[in-house]
Amino acid sequence: MHTLVERILNGDRRAVARAISYIEDNHPEKTEILQDLFPHTGGAFLLGITGSPGAGKSSFVDKLIGYLRKQGLTIGIVAVDPTSPFTGGAILGDRIRMQDHFLDEGVFIRSMGTRGSLGGLARATKEAVRVLDAYGKDIVIIETVGVGQSELDIMNIADSTAVVLNPGGGDTVQAFKAGIMEIADLFILNKADLAGTDKLFREVEQMLDLVKHDSPWRPPVVKTITTQSKGIDDAWKAFMDHKAYLQESKEWERRRASHLREEVSEIVEHAVHQLIVKRLRSEEYKDMMDGVSRRDIDPYEVAHQLLQQLVKEK
């Protein structure tokens, strides 16, 4: 067993931070660490928090952490921040909002940059969640950037996903575009002290009536006012009700099995992508790539030749 893994299993906080850094940097020992950790995972309840920018996701998470700590639960948070196009680093806004919990040994917060991930979630997010799971956290919260349809990726990580909305968020229909309704296991109407909350509540319920659900679970709609710490207990009850439903209906096992199968595809796709990029940057393909740049040869022909070569090598 890797020494870093032994330290993580023994509750070493610094080892957790180091392992996640290895994951983000694609360290040569990353795979060994993840393989050693895998048998010790599966115990945490994984919560996904998504929604449009400004909906109050981070404020909600901050209050939820405080509520759960009072229940004696330990928490891990992976906050996916936008990546700076100049430095490649995350803005870390979520960590600023959760600064009250930094000194709490029962809470571990890590911000990760999207690094250009098309899904809005860093590829390393799922692996970071696995580290926190093995670390022994009862609850692991994944808070996404909140950029719309790309947040659908969260359904391949979380056990339960909450979509956070607020009355000042604009046209409700826009918030429910292409799959957003389908990924929500519950809705959080934050800033419920603002005008328009009841109207938003009715609109969400009406949209739920229109959307065909394959399961008997109907996502509840919970009102919260994070500035006053109101509704947090109701939100947590909704999460626990959903967890109970998942376990009683056997959807828990099915959903987690589906996530693992999807992860196999992701790992293979990433490895193949890295192989292709490395090959195209090699001297062997330099002339052809220069030809594409000069428009002497089309990119489809180069791609075809590369695929043919890879098939022959197989």
Q: What does the chain come to in residues?
A: 314
Q: Based on the domain organization, do 282 and 239 belong to the same domain?
A: no
Contacts 24+ apart (CB under 8 A), 270-276: 270/123, 275/310, 276/306, 276/310
Residues near 139 by beta carbon (within 8 Å), at least 6 away in sequence: 44, 45, 47, 68, 73, 74, 75, 76
Residue 84: band (very low, low, confident or very high) from pLDDT cuts 50, 70, 90: very low
User: What's the mean pLDDT in 70-88?
Assistant: 74
Residue 116: band (very low, low, confident or very high) from pLDDT cuts 50, 70, 90: very low
Residue 273: band (very low, low, confident or very high) from pLDDT cuts 50, 70, 90: confident
What letter represents residue 161's amino acid?
A: T
Q: Based on the domain organization, do 210 and 145 belong to the same domain?
A: yes
What pLDDT is stored for residue 118 in this prediction? 42
Nearest to 83 by CA among 129, 19, 147, 142: 147
Q: Based on the domain organization, do 143 and 287 belong to the same domain?
A: no
Q: Based on the domain organization, do 33 and 54 belong to the same domain?
A: no
Q: Per residue in 128-154, pLDDT tens? A: 999 999 999 999 999 987 655 446 677
Q: Based on the domain organization, do 298 and 157 belong to the same domain?
A: no
**Beta pairing partners, 188:** 164, 222
Indicate which CATH number applies to the domain containing 224: 3.40.50.300
For residue 283, give its domain range: 263-313
Instruction: Flag whether 156 is in a domain.
Output: yes
Q: Per residue in 277-287, pLDDT tens? A: 899 999 989 99
Residue 95: band (very low, low, confident or very high) from pLDDT cuts 50, 70, 90: low
Q: Based on the domain organization, do 16 and 137 belong to the same domain?
A: no
* Strands of 160-165's sheet in order across: 107-113, 75-81, 139-143, 45-51, 160-165, 186-189, 221-223
Q: Based on the domain organization, do 48 and 127 belong to the same domain?
A: yes
Is it the case that residue 180 has pLDDT exceeding 50?
yes
**Last residue of a domain, which of 223, 249, 275?**
249
Q: Based on the domain organization, do 68 and 126 belong to the same domain?
A: yes
Q: Per residue in 210-236, pLDDT tens? A: 776 667 899 999 999 998 999 999 999
Q: Based on the domain organization, do 193 and 209 belong to the same domain?
A: yes
Q: Based on the domain organization, do 245 and 121 belong to the same domain?
A: yes
What pLDDT is stored for residue 151 in this prediction? 61
Q: Based on the domain organization, do 16 and 124 belong to the same domain?
A: no
* Percentage, residues of the chain above pLDDT 70: 82
What pLDDT is stored for residue 24 in this prediction? 86
CA separation, residue 135 to residues 7, 66, 78, 80, 240 (Å): 9, 20, 14, 20, 22
What pLDDT is stored for residue 99 in this prediction? 63
Residues near 28 by beta carbon (within 8 Å), at least 6 away in sequence: none
Instruction: Flag whether 256 is in a domain.
Output: no
Total domains in the fold of the chain: 3
Q: Per residue in 30-39, pLDDT tens? A: 999 999 999 9
User: What's the mean pLDDT in 183-188?
Assistant: 90
Pick 120 or 289 by higher pLDDT. Answer: 289
Q: Per residue in 8-33, pLDDT tens? A: 999 999 999 999 999 988 899 999 99
Q: Based on the domain organization, do 15 and 157 belong to the same domain?
A: no
Q: How far apart are CA 168 and CA 165, in angstroms?
A: 9
**Residues 6, 10, 15, 19, CA torsion sign:** positive
The single-letter DSSP state of residue 170 is -
pLDDT mean across residues, the chain: 84
